[in-house]
Structure 1
């Protein structure tokens, strides 16, 4: 416990927290951009999507496209706030990453491998935003 108050430990602590914030910001930007592209492809009703019959959470492919497009745009906007280490952006980042997880889970049958990858990326974003404390990010 006393080791965290030494002058050598403080810069490392700040660097770790700031690094997590940058990681989360970059990952959220990537998730947002990829979700935008996925949304555009779904709106265009591209042939890359799998169609599954009798899926409980079945929506029209165009509907899923608009959902992913909106989530992607919001994720990119929030990521700009994360680069500034804004508190509102951390809260919004956790919320939008959670919504991306839910949306990708519900659209799992349409593009299974990509949905799992997006869920994993969003989980890392949530982890990074929840681990770094605000007082550690800004000295």
Structure 2
């Protein structure tokens, strides 16, 4: 999904396209990683003095409800990233614990689980792998 598609979807769902909302989404969409509400606040604080966490979380909730972003929890903190295109294949993520960058994983572990869940109806699932990306491994080895 692209930023302009996300903004159009918000508009279709009855939400106003405000400059602040646009810039929050723009920041999220430019990152190749999950970001925190604090990251968003720090990125926009110079332009929007007094930007509160309430405002950020209210917008993040809207973005989640409209499904233009996705959320994960890492170290007890909610983190957000742009939602991948619905036409893109089903996938999961590797998340670097140092820099937060993500990499898509094409394989899905659910392919191996059906025999363990006979009689159950799976409606959704989430699978993430955490570790260090090659850049962070190389940085660690330089220390």
| TM score, norm. by length of structure 1 | 0.32
> Comparing both structures, which one devotes a greater share of its residues to strand?
2
> Comparing both structures, which one devotes a greater share of its residues to helix?
1
